[in-house]
Structure 1
Amino acid sequence: MDTRESQTPEEELQHLKEVNEPEDFDNPEPDETQPEAQEPSRGLPWLLPLAIVLAVAVLGFMLLTGISD
C-alpha cells in the first residue's frame, strides 16, 4: 500500500488520465466475462416487497383491532 502523502506531477497526470477515460463497452473488463458477473443477482430482491406486505398487514391489524397508541 502506498502511504505517501502527495504524488509527483507525472503521477497525478497519469491518475487524472485514468479517471477521466471513458468506459469501453466494446472491450469489457476481464471480470465482466466471468460467469458470476453474467448471472442475474439472486440476492434479496424479494425482501423489500415482503417487508412492505408485512408492514401493511401489521398496520392493518393494529388499526382494525384498536391496538394503536
Structure 2
Amino acid sequence: MRRECLHALQPKAYTPRTPDSTHGLRCAPNRRLDQPKLTRANQVGVSDSTYLPLANGDWAYLCAFQDMGTKHVVGRTR
C-alpha cells in the first residue's frame, strides 16, 4: 500500500454524548441533608447512570438503583 501511496480509511472512534456538567446552571439541592436517618428499607431510593466501554469497541449504558435504607442495589438496567 505504501508503494502505491494508498492509505486505509480509519473510521472515527465513537464517543457517546453525555450531559454537559459544565453548563454553569445551579444543581438541585440535596433534600435528604436535613431529614431524619432512615430506619427501614424501601423508604428512599437513588439511582445513577454511566456509559461503559466494551472490549469490542461498543458502549453499554448502565443504570443502578440503590435502597438508601439498606445500601443494597435493588435493580439495574443495561
TM-score (norm 2): 0.20
Larger radius of gyration: 1
Higher RCO (C-alpha under 8 Å, 6+ residues apart): 2
The structure with the largest strand share of the pair is: 2
